[in-house]
Structure formats: structure tokens, C-alpha cells
Amino acid sequence: MGMLLVGGLLFLLGRQLTDRVPVDGLLAGLLLLLFGSLVGSLWYRLGSLCRSLDSYAERLGIPLTEDGATGDRIERLDRRIRRLGDEMLAETYALEYQARHDPLTSLPNRALLMERLTGRLNIQDNTEGSLALLVMDLDRFKEVNDTLGHHIGDRLLQEVGRRLVSVLRRSDTVARLGGDEFAMLLPGADTERTRALCRKVLEVMDAPIKVDSLRLRAGISIGVALAPVHGTDANLLLRRADVAMYHAKRKHKGFAFYKADHDNHSISRLGLSSELREAIEADELALEYQPLVDMGSGRIRCVEALVRWCHPRMGQVPPEEFIPIAEQTGMIRPLSLWVIDRALAQLHAWQRAGIDLRISLNLSVRSLQDRQLPGQIQKLLERHRVEPHCVILEITESAIMSDPLTARRVMRRLSAMGFQLSIDDFGTGYSSLSYLKQLPVDEIKIDRSFVTRMDEDDNDAVIVRATIDLAHNLGLKVVAEGVESRDVWDLLEILGCDCAQGYFIHTPLEAQELVAWIRSEEWRDACWVTPLELVNGT
């Protein structure tokens, strides 16, 4: 541009000298030349700006080209700038929405929930008083994904989200925290209203959810934390609601309000999970064996293996405490394989010593849903040279009914391998004897809650009698758990029960103690049994 002006000036000066152009004309020419140069420069810069806008918009994925556009270049540039601004504003809103909402259910996500929770806590003291935060987790959702696929699981989550929204007020918030975990924020909700809402949630979730041709049930566990009772910090309330939720899930209570002792249990639960893994790897667990007596012959043909954990600081940790932890933290497979491995090794040692016993082992809910389990058990049988007919596998009703399809497949495979199958804790679940006809079951064990006081409670006695009669009609043997008195033993014998187990016979014993007891005078003097048959007269 500068060179162009200089050249123009030299040209006009030359004309003035040769043609004697007046000075006024020279100045007018310079101004015209300068104006033309400015217009040309502006026109060039407008074109460059249009090209830069198009390039920038293309990088953002925003088309700015206009078919049949009218108006001069400045008007078209104005329209492009306005359109780019509108598109960028819309894109900003979309990105902000995506950052604060769950893409699957379109519900608020954890970030937006925490933002609203923090805001409500800041104004709560002046306006509304109490506030409730609910954390919810679906029961057995992983089984849906593993069995039916993630696309079915996603549709299940979408319907769960819709049902949760349906029970809320406009001022309430329901959010998806991630996976199968949801949360609700209830401003102004006191204990009674929160309790009523929890019941409503359980009610709407109890109805089957239809996905394609499937009818699924989404059981849910709910934990509740209230402000200011349980805290006034958003993160603290969320953690305490989560602790209460795990308590509700562990106790099968549906919903639970936070309590301080839940927190202590949660902390110890995390510690126990880590220490349980170490105990398994270090072979620090132990097995005890409780005898089962054949009521017809009075002989002991079987013992049940029971896992024990003597914690170095806490002492004996009850199985009902650490086994659920193992199930919830993924430790149930190594724990189950450890128990089976040690029990089969002990059974082989007894067989070599000439003691004719079968062994009964418990399979948990998670174990029964593990399709690799039969193959792993087969390898352990081969390692310890034990025949499968010497092993009884006990399976609880709840394990079968939580996923009947997978349970049936695994049970049929185990039965085909030669194992005897027993239904443990019968009467406490949801199955029926008619359903058992579809399963390869050899015996049932009546839960101790019906047996222990059947000599005092007529209702328990009726239930036990009906169960024994119906089981025998289906060709199944019956084992009574929890036999703790002579009166119960005599009543079971009258009712035709096949086997008995309980403290009346003996408490669980270590392997060496069991053999010593069997060979002792105490055993031989027992009035309800005859001596155990030993190979080669030992």
C-alpha cells in the first residue's frame, strides 16, 4: 500500500512538471488515489475476514455458506457473524447441558446434583428447614447386564429414571450418579415425608418392567441422610446417604436412615475386605466340620464344612459378617475356591485313613451365578483325587431365585458331573416344592428357624411336617438344621425326617477333633447312634 501511494505521488509530480497540472488538481488526484487505496484495502480485508470466518466455522462444524445469498459483501459478512454467534451460543448451552446431565437418562448428573444440594444447604437455614438426600442402588443389576446384555440394562435404567421422576414434586431433583446408582434431593422434606416417599419408590419399582418380550423387576435399596441432622456439608451428606444405602442393601430392608453406627460398620467393612483378601492369600482361614446324622441308621455319613476366620485383632469374625462382604467386593470366588480346595484335601485325607464320609459345601449367590465354577471345581476334584458323588453342594433358595435361568444351568451342569445337590435354608425364600421339580435337586435342608422350637411352636411343627411329606412325595431327602434338644430329635424321628444336624449332635469341630470324637467312648455311648463304619475294621 505504501509503495502504491509513493508511486502515485511520483506520477502526479511528474505530470505537474511536464503538463503544468494545477496544484489543486494534484491534491484532488492524491485524495482520490488515497480513497481508492483505502477502499481496495478494506475490500481485501473483508474478503480475508470472510475466509477466516468460514475456516473457523468449518473447524467448529458450523456451516456458514449461503445459497443464493443477497446483499453486498458487508451485509453477507454481518449475517455470517450473527449466525456464527448464534451457533456458538447454542453450542455452549448444549455443552453445558451435556456436562451437567446424564446422556442415557437425561437426568441431572452428580455435578448438577451437588450444585443444587450445595445451593439448598446455603439457603436452608433461612427458608425451608429440613432437607433429605436419598441415594439408591439397584439390586442385582449386574446380573441383567451379564445375562441379557448392556442394551437391555440401558433400557432398564431409562425406565427406572422415568419411574423415579414420576413420584417427585417440581422442586425435587432426581439424578443418576453413575452405573445403577441414583439420588434424590428433597428440599423441605422431614422424616415422615421422606419415609413415605421411600415407600412410594419401593412400590413403583416393585411393578415389573417390560423390555421387549422380557418382564424384569428392578429391586432397589435406598439410603437417607437428612440436613441438618446428619450434616450440613454436601459431600458429607452424600457419603452418609451412601453408607445408609449399603446398610439397607446388606440387611435387605428396602430403605434405611443414616445412623452413626452404620459409619463405623462401613469403615470396618472396607478394612475387612482388604484383610480378607490377605487372609485368603496367606492361608489364614480355617474349616470346621459339623456332623449330620442319618436318623434311620444313626450313623454319620456326612459333615458340613464351615469356614472360620480368626482375625488377629478382632478375634472370631462371624461368617454372616464377612461372607456378604466377600459377595459385595468380588472376593467370593477366591473364598469359595479356597473352601472347596481345603475341604476336598481333607476329604481325601480321611479316605486314606479309612474314614467313610461325604462332605457338604455351601455355594453362595454369586458362586452359583459364576459359570466358570463347575470347571474350576472339576480341576480341584482331579487335583485331590476325590469322586464327585462324595460331595454335596448346598445352595440357598435365594441364590436360585435371584437368577433362576443361570442357576438352573449351573445346577444341571454340576448334577451331570456327579455332585449331590441340596437346597439350604429351605422355607426362608420364595420358591416352592413344585418349582423344585424343574431342578436336579437330591435333598432339602429345612431352615433352623422352623426346627429349633418346633417342640414348643405348633405352627413350626406343622410347617416341618408338611415340608417332609411333600419332599418325600417328590423323591427328595430331608435334612433338619438346628436340632438342639432331645425333644426336637424325637419329634423329627416321628415325622420321618431323614437326617439331622445341630448342637444336640455336636457343635462344629476341627478335622482332628472330629475324628477323635468319632473314635471316642462319648461317640460310642451316644444313645441315638451306632458306631461309624470304618474301612478295614479301624
The 3-class secondary structure across 438-469, one letter per residue, is CCCCCEEEECHHHHCCCCCCHHHHHHHHHHHH
Among 231, 258, 285, identify where a domain stops: 258
Task: For residue 355, give the amino acid letter.
Answer: I
- Chain-wide mean pLDDT for the chain? 79
Classify residue 298: in a domain, yes or no: yes
Task: For residue 392, give the amino acid letter.
Answer: I
Rounded-to-integer distance, Cα 133 and Cα 102, Å: 19
pLDDT digits (tens, 9 = 90+) for 411-451: 888 999 999 999 887 765 544 555 667 788 899 999 888 89
User: What cell was used for 194?
Assistant: 421422606
Question: Chain-centre distance of CA 518, in angstroms?
Answer: 45
Q: How confident is the model at residue 74 (pLDDT cuts 50, 70, 90)?
A: low
Classify residue 532: in a domain, yes or no: no
330 and 436 belong to one structural domain: yes
83 and 117 belong to one structural domain: no
Question: How much is the pLDDT for 291?
Answer: 93
302 and 252 belong to one structural domain: no
Buried-exposed string 181-190: b where 16+ CB fall within 10 A, e elsewhere = bbbbbbbbbe
Does pLDDT of 254 surpass 50? yes
User: What cell was used for 108?
Assistant: 441431572
- Cis before residue 228, ω within 30 degrees of 0? yes
472 and 338 belong to one structural domain: yes
29 and 126 belong to one structural domain: no
Among 203, 237, 258, identify where a domain stops: 258
Task: For residue 91, give the amino acid letter.
Answer: E
What sign has the CA pseudo-torsion 417, 418, 419, 420? positive
Q: Of all residues in the chain, what percent carry a pLDDT higher than 70?
A: 71
245 and 292 belong to one structural domain: no
Classify residue 537: in a domain, yes or no: no
398 and 376 belong to one structural domain: yes
What sign has the CA pseudo-torsion 88, 89, 92, 93? negative
pLDDT top residue among 198 and 532 = 198
- Determine contact, residues 277/331, Cβ cutoff 8 Å: yes
What sign has the CA pseudo-torsion 518, 450, 447, 390? positive
- For residue 373, count other CB atoms closer than 10 A to its CB: 21
Give the domain extent around 164: 110-258
Classify residue 534: in a domain, yes or no: no
User: What cell was used for 267?
Assistant: 469403615
Question: How much is the pLDDT for 190?
Answer: 86
19 and 151 belong to one structural domain: no
Q: What's the whole-number mean pLDDT along residues 150-155?
A: 84
pLDDT top residue among 58 and 38 = 38
pLDDT digits (tens, 9 = 90+) for 279-332: 888 888 999 999 999 998 888 889 999 999 988 777 777 787 788 778 766 788
DSSP code of residue 11: H
Q: What's the whole-number mean pLDDT along residues 393-413?
A: 75
Helix (H, G, I), strand (E, B) or coil at 363: strand
Q: What's the whole-number mean pLDDT along residues 390-410?
A: 76
Q: How confident is the model at residue 17 (pLDDT cuts 50, 70, 90)?
A: very low
Q: What's the whole-number mean pLDDT along residues 72-92?
A: 64
Classify residue 282: in a domain, yes or no: yes
| DSSP string over 254-303 | SEEE--HHHHHHHHHHHHHHHHHHHHHHTT--EEEEEEEEETTT--EEEE
398 and 305 belong to one structural domain: yes
Q: What's the whole-number mean pLDDT along residues 45-71?
A: 62
Q: How confident is the model at residue 520 (pLDDT cuts 50, 70, 90)?
A: confident
Beta strands per DSSP E along 54-208: 131-138, 173-178, 181-187
User: What cell was used for 111?
Assistant: 455435578
Contact residues for 131 (Cβ-Cβ < 8 A; gap 6+) = 120, 121, 124, 185, 186, 187, 188, 189, 226, 227
Helix (H, G, I), strand (E, B) or coil at 153: helix
Tell me which residue of 483, 485, 455, 479 sits closest to 467, measured CA to CA.
479
Classify residue 195: in a domain, yes or no: yes
pLDDT digits (tens, 9 = 90+) for 111-142: 889 888 988 888 755 445 589 999 999 887 77
238 and 310 belong to one structural domain: no
Classify residue 105: in a domain, yes or no: no
Tell me which residue of 444, 519, 450, 518 sits closest to 488, measured CA to CA.
450
Q: Is 235 exposed, middle or buried (0-12, 13-18, 19+ CB in 10 A)?
A: exposed
237 and 331 belong to one structural domain: no
Rounded-to-integer distance, Cα 412 and Cα 417, Å: 9
Among 258, 291, 322, identify where a domain stops: 258
395 and 310 belong to one structural domain: yes
User: What cell was used for 489?
Assistant: 430329635
What is the domain-level CATH number for residue 184?
3.30.70.270
Classify residue 263: in a domain, yes or no: no
Helix (H, G, I), strand (E, B) or coil at 474: coil
- Residue 479 exposure: Cα atoms within 13 Å on the Cβ side: 26
What is the domain-level CATH number for residue 456?
3.20.20.450
The domain tally of the chain equals 3
pLDDT digits (tens, 9 = 90+) for 356-383: 899 999 987 677 777 788 889 999 999 9
Does pLDDT of 410 surpass 60? yes
Q: Is 82 exposed, middle or buried (0-12, 13-18, 19+ CB in 10 A)?
A: exposed
- Determine contact, residues 223/247, Cβ cutoff 8 Å: yes
pTM for the complete prediction? 0.55
